[in-house]
Structure 1
Amino acid sequence: MRLIYTPLLTLFCVFSFYTQAQKSTYKISFENAVHHEANVNVIFSELEGENLTVRMSSASPGRYAVHHFAKNIYGVKATDSKGTPLKIMRPDPFSWKIMNHDGEVNLNYILFANRGDGTYSQIDETHAHLNMPATFMFAPTLEDFPMEITFNVRKDLNWKVATQLKETGANMYWAPNLQYFMDSPTEVSDFSIRSFDVDGQTIRFVLHHHGTEEELDTYFENVKKTVLEQKKVFGELPEFDFDTYTFLACYIPNASGDGMEHRNSTILTSTRSLANGGMQGNIGTVSHEFFHAWNVERIRPQSLEPFDFTKANMSGALWFAEGFTSYYTNLILSRAGVITPEQYIKSLNGTFNYVWNSPARQYFNPIEMSYQAPFVDAATSIDPVNRENTFISYYSYGSVLGLALDLSLRAERLNLDDYMKLVWIKYGKKEQPYTIKNLEEALKEYAGTTFATNFFNNYIYKSEMPDYKTLFSKVGIQINQDASKAYSGISLNGQNAIQKNIAQNTPAYKAKLDMGDTILSIDGKKVDGNFKDLITNYKPGDKITVEFERYGIKKNTTLILSSDPTYTISIDDKASKKQLKKRSEWLLN
């Protein structure tokens, strides 16, 4: 989220100016946390008119789909300044219209919350994990006015408060407006905290977990390495509001794995403890979300400005905002020494194969894949969809395009870091939102018109595949396919049933098999959890008879096997000194 009131001095001027004007004053308490409830009180004061409409958000910063947070609100009551009950009407599922107030509305409600991730809230006796859109009603007419909040913490549970909001007193915090308030997740728990200073700013790591302080110390060293390595890409940290950036990490069994960026903070949730895989498994989310402090929070698409809390937010730039951030996620860890170059190269395989073996590129380019976010970004539906054939995640698509652009630039003795730095200086540092055309113009400025035009025309406005074999060879990396290995296009679950939509143009698709079909036998040989073993006995081009069951009826079809399309990316052990030097410049910086 962009902060409307900058710089910091202006924030305090705004704070002083509005102390006697319209404002929203919140209190939240957790007496019934064991049953996942919070009691919320908010006083809307100095109001104009006779009626006030309040609502729950339908969107959350960093998410692009619609979320119906209002479903978890009940026990709504309102009084005026004298304590007189006020009539409440429901104009729509998300709003409450409070009638005939006297300039003040004192509103109370109960929130049920039991999902600890980057979008929803979770309240229990381990913590109050609060995403503001999922927690607090707001008055749209007061969105430009300050908001104050007091957290009545559970002292019996030794709870404390961590947030990017400005602290104004004991457990009391302030935001200049609705945009900043909604963009300020808060962790209330018995957490541990570590911090370090970088160029006069403080980086805090708040961790709610069941592990040891020694584990946190070890993990925090990798967090520090990651932060400092990312600073090298852009040459500087952003100017964080109140000179502080806060990681809000919950590595607990009752959390749901996620990560969500915010202006001066990020949420990190995982069921993996540091002692049980989290030391390595969770650090990638740290890297991804902190990179967002530049790319998407300040280097921000015009299409997301301002963020609308009443509807889905769509942008065609997510291949850059999310995808290029995904490219840097593991690359940064390699440069920081958190993972090895070999581990990084190996990590490319899954994403690379997912993108370039998908039939979806015939339908959408990266911009149009980004437009799909409202349907896929934690969105829910009960009807089946055909995403296996029509959608490639903009995280993954943008990541492999970032890889291609970086290697292409390095072939010209340039690099993606310096391009990102240019975009930062032109747009992010000034907090001037960009368009996709702006990104193309910046690449022209950095690498020349011909280079930029070719890249955007072929890979952004179209869906063509870069020449990775040539690009990889320049840095001593191999990419191969095994033409002798048979491929069917079938993926079975434990009950021998096809578990997802079959990709177009695969042998299984051409044989008219479908999701849900149960494979019984191949050439008369019973399939009993051994499908992959049976296929290894065949070669590309072989025809096999498949017996399957669909809707309780046994059927047969002929499947003609093809060559396995899987790419294998690996380090070339015979790379020249020149290739090794270029690889080192790329992966070790």
Structure 2
Amino acid sequence: MNYLFLFCIALTSVCAQTYHDYQISFPQAVHHEAQIAATFTGLEDKTLELRMSRTSPGRYAIHEFAKNVYNLKATDENGKSLTVTRPNPYQWDISGHHGTVRVSYTLFANRGDGTYSQIDETHAHLNIPATFLYAPKYPQRPVRVKFDVRQDLKWKVATQLKDLGNNVFMAPDLDYFMDSPTEISNFSLREFTETSNGKSYSIRFALHHGGTEAELDTYIAQVRRIVQQEKSVYGELPDFDFGQYTFLACYLGHVSGDGMEHRNSTVLTSTRSLKDGGMKGNASTVSHEFFHCWNVERIRPKSLQPFDYTEANMSGELWFAEGFTQYYTSLILRRAGIITSQEYVEGLSGSLNYVWNSPARAFFTPIEMSYQAPFVDAATSLDPVNRENTFISYYTYGSVLGLALDLSLRNLDNGLSLDGFMQAVWQTYGKHEQPYTVRDLQLALETYAGKEFGQSFFSTYIFASNMPDYKRLLAGVGVDFAQKDASRAALGVSLQVQNEAATLVSHPTQGSAAYAAGLTKGDRIVSLGYKPIAPGTTAEKLLAEFKVGETVEVGYERFGKKQTTSLTFQADPSYRTSLQVSPSAAAQKKQKEWLEEK
């Protein structure tokens, strides 16, 4: 169902509905605690079911937020204690009420990122699912929340929630509330206006950092160029609710680096200050997350509708939703003038090498890689996994497929590009918030570029795991794609050299020299070619002593036992990307159309 339609209906009727009311205060912020109270009225069921979410919008894995809730108490409207039972670890059932339940509890929170909450005397960085209990049987009830800010710490509130005044904010329903992160701190605020389709939108940037106002002024100019270049991809801005979009940025040493998109806002956290590399380094997260306000927030996979707060959320479209967004992340920085063409082109090699040389393509297609998100998207596990050989991030896989599709469309010589395709998908699915499937994307490409082209791309690269001809595609825009150094010997595994041993710290890549020799993660190589590992050497110096094709005896230790094996060095499979020195006039023209400001 069209969420935009439901959102508008909710706004027009919100005054006539019964609210769920929350209040949060921070008297023990020094101990990372918040005190939370909630009032639920007009209850129809004899038992009120309350839960803490197990997931968070924008994440796909399970996160057990209930573990940080304690000291929970429930009363009726007269202060009488009510019976609370726990049918499972995530739920509280409250019975004996007469239509009104008041709940209070303590929350511990000390991770500042896009998924969790962090409370201390610098800020209250709140991700809503990690903070507030909710009533799952009343998803259409509007929500009000009052933030009792610490006046002594000069705290203010930044959020996409509707401001009702006096630090009270409103969400039209549960989904909007859960999707509305909030930063409460003594942040600095900048604001600029962008117009689209005759409407003006306020783009707000709330930054909590230890830098200067001048640094923020310089940074906000970059942010504005990013916003404008991403708007040019789609031809217009989304119709932001309440007429505004809010960046919630924390660039502090005690947060965890992250970015998380939401409907009309995004969380940006980084340990890098603007002074110490963040001016350029943090801009990539701005680019990625703002692009999401089109791609994933409104151009939304059907598999993520509705979002499930009780289970992991699996989608086969993340190669597009996350991966194509990742492709545009650096491309937009280039178009905005934040990085040079050389920096952009040379930066492509990392992603291309990762996907091009991965054995994981033999196991999973891009769609199946997307299915892995609940296991890898900030998920935790104790048992070891073999990701080096079985998994390619859907971010990176999708980004190199986005590159291939963009260059392939440009090679058709009829004015097509990935920009044009994204506009077509936006107009068909995103603008009116009609969820899509993989087959819908294929149909959109067939409509945009022709049935033969669309069927070929999807059957070859999406429903199968073949690799495009990047050498040919990149040459068409004046970029070389060539093996970095075919004479350099490689083992196909990461080594940590210390204490006169080279320890394998990753699983060897399937088919590599180390894999064929029967070596595995944790083995300690003590000699290569009868030479002991010299004190002070490095992995690079160690391998430089040998030639491609050379066979040597390897002495190693496994589980404390000394063993030997035979190993034949292979060529380093890494590729490099670089601007051609003298590209053709046609390639120069296409490169300019691809990389230059729009």
Q: TM-score range by the shorter chain?
A: over 0.9
Deviation digits for residues 126-156 of structure 1 (CA, Å, limit 9, x no counterpart): 0000000000000111111111100000000
| SS in structure 2 of the partner of residue 446 of structure 1 | helix
1:394 matched residue in structure 2 = 394
User: In the alignment, is residue 516 of structure 1 matched against residue 516 of structure 2?
Assistant: no
Secondary structure of the 1:565 match is coil
Asked if the contact 1:261/1:267 (under 8 Å) is kept, the reply is: yes
Paired-residue identity, %? 57
Distance 1:119 1:243 in 2: 25
Note if 1:115 corresponds to 2:111: yes
CA contact (8 A) 1:3 1:180 kept: no
CA distance in 2, matches of 1:423, 1:176: 28
The 3 A distance-change label for structure 1 pair 343 and 359 is: same
Question: Aligned-pair distance for 1:244?
Answer: 0.3
Q: Secondary structure at the match of 1:216?
A: helix
Q: C-alpha distance in 1, partners of 2:491/2:521?
A: 14
Match of 1:439 among 438, 441, 448: 441
Structure 1 residues 4, 578: CA separation in 2 closer, same or farther (over 3 Å shift)? closer
The answer on 1:543 being equivalent to 2:547 is: no
- The Cα of 1:531 is off from its aligned counterpart by 3.1
Shift of 1:494: 4.5
Amino acid in structure 2 at the alignment position of 1:430 = H
Judge conservation of contact 1:478–1:572 (CA < 8 Å) in 2: yes
Confirm or deny: 8 A CA contact 1:52 1:139 kept in the other structure.
yes
CA distance 1:494–1:157, shift in 2 (3 Å)? farther
Q: Give the corresponding residue for 2:257.
A: 257
Q: Is the 8 A contact 1:2 1:263 kept in 2?
A: no
SS in 2 for 1:309: coil
Structure 1 residue 298 displacement after superposition: 0.3
Q: Does 1:498 align with 2:504?
A: yes
Instruction: Give the match for residue 470 of structure 1.
Output: 472
Distance 1:143-1:494 versus aligned 2 partners, 3 A rule: farther
Is this contact kept in 1: 2:493–2:509, CA < 8 A? no
CA distance, structure 2, for counterparts of residue 231 and residue 572 of structure 1 = 30
1:415 aligned residue (390, 414, 417) = 417
After alignment, is 531-540 or 189-198 more displaced? Answer: 531-540
Once the two structures are superposed, residues 469-505 of structure 1 have per-residue CA deviations (whole angstroms, 9 ceiling, x without a partner) of 1101111100111322211113112543111111100
Give 5+ residue unaligned stretches, structure 1.
none
Per-residue CA distance 1:302-347 (angstroms, 9 max, x = gap): 0000000000000000000000000000001101111111110111
**AA paired with 2:581?**
D
| Cα distance between partner residues in 1 of 2:31 and 2:525 | 45
Deviation at 1:544, TM superposition (A): 1.3
Moved more, 147-156 or 573-582: 573-582
Query: Partner amino acid for 1:376?
Result: V
Contact 1:502 1:514 in 2 (8 A): yes
Residue type matched to 2:131 in 1?
A: T
In structure 1, give the amino acid aligned to 2:448: Y
Equivalent pair of 1:5/1:176 in contact (CA under 8 Å): no
**Could you say what secondary structure the match of 2:259 adopts?**
strand
Instruction: Please tell me whether residue 530 in structure 1 is matched to residue 538 in structure 2.
Output: yes
Change (3 A) 1:575 1:390: same
Question: Which of 480, 483, 488 is the aligned partner of 1:485?
Answer: 488
2:583 paired with 1:575: yes
* Structure 2 counterparts to residues 54-69 of structure 1, below 5 A: 54-69=50-65
Indicate whether 1:566 and 2:596 are aligned. no
Aligned twin of 2:90: 94
2:305 is matched with which residue?
Answer: 305
Aligned amino acid, residue 142 of structure 1: Y
Of the structure 1 ranges 235-244 and 94-103, higher mean CA displacement relative to structure 2 is found in 94-103
Matched, 1:76 2:76: no
Residues 129 and 186 of structure 1 are in contact (CA less than 8 Å); yes or no, is this contact kept in structure 2?
A: yes
Q: Check the 8 A contact 1:151/1:171 in 2, yes or no.
A: yes
Alpha-carbon distance in 1 for matches of 2:71, 2:323: 42
**Partners of 1:301 and 1:355 in 2: CA distance:** 24
Match of 1:141, SS state, is coil
Residue 5 of structure 1 and its aligned partner are, at CA, apart by 4.9
Q: Do structure 1's residue 218 and structure 2's residue 231 form an aligned pair?
A: no
The whole-number CA distance in structure 2 between the counterparts of 1:99 and 1:197 is 50
Matched, 1:289 2:289: yes
Q: Distance in 2 between the 1:182 and 1:30 partners?
A: 20
Matched residue SS, 1:457: helix
Helix, strand or coil for the counterpart of 1:286? helix
Gaps of at least 5 residues in structure 2 are none
TM-score by length of 2: 0.96
- Aligned equivalents of 1:520 and 1:123: distance in 2? 48
Contact 2:496 2:539 in 1 (8 A): no
| Aligned-pair CA distance for 1:49 | 2.7
Give yes or no for contact 1:360–1:389 (8 Å, CA) kept in 2: yes
* 1:234 corresponds to 2:209: no
393-402 or 332-341, larger mean C-alpha shift: 332-341
**269 and 67 in structure 1: CA distance in 2 versus 1, 3 angstrom threshold:** same
Q: Is the 8 A contact 2:497 2:539 kept in 1?
A: no
Runs of 4+ in 1 over 3 A off after TM superposition: 1-8
Q: Deviations over 1:247-293 (max 9, x none)?
A: 00000011000000000000000000001110011000000000000
Deviation of the 1:14 alpha carbon: 2.1
AA aligned opposite 2:120: D
1:168 aligns with 2:164: yes
The residue that corresponds to 1:450 in the other structure is 452
Q: Residue 15 of structure 2 corresponds to which residue in structure 1?
A: 16
SS of the counterpart of 1:142?
A: coil
Tell me if the contact between 1:191 and 1:209 (Cα under 8 Å) persists in the aligned partners: yes
3-state SS in 1 of match to 2:152: helix
Amino acid at match of 1:149: V
Distance in 1, matches of 2:346 and 2:10, equals: 46
* Residue 11 of structure 1: how far off its partner (Å): 4.0
CA deviations on 1:338-391 (whole Å, 9 max, x unpaired) are: 111111011111111111111000000000000000000000000000111110
Q: Return the match for 2:81 from 82, 85, 89.
A: 85
Amino acid of the structure 1 residue aligned with 2:241: D
477-486 or 451-460: bigger deviation: 477-486
Range with bigger deviation, 47-56 or 267-276: 47-56
SS at match of 1:92: coil
What is the root-mean-square deviation of aligned Cα atoms in Å? 1.2
Q: Is the CA contact (8 Å cut-off) linking 2:82 and 2:96 kept in structure 1? A: yes
| Residue 530 of structure 1, CA deviation | 2.7
Name the SS of the counterpart of 1:43 in structure 2: strand
Aligned counterpart, 2:430: 428
> Is 1:194–2:202 an aligned residue pair?
no
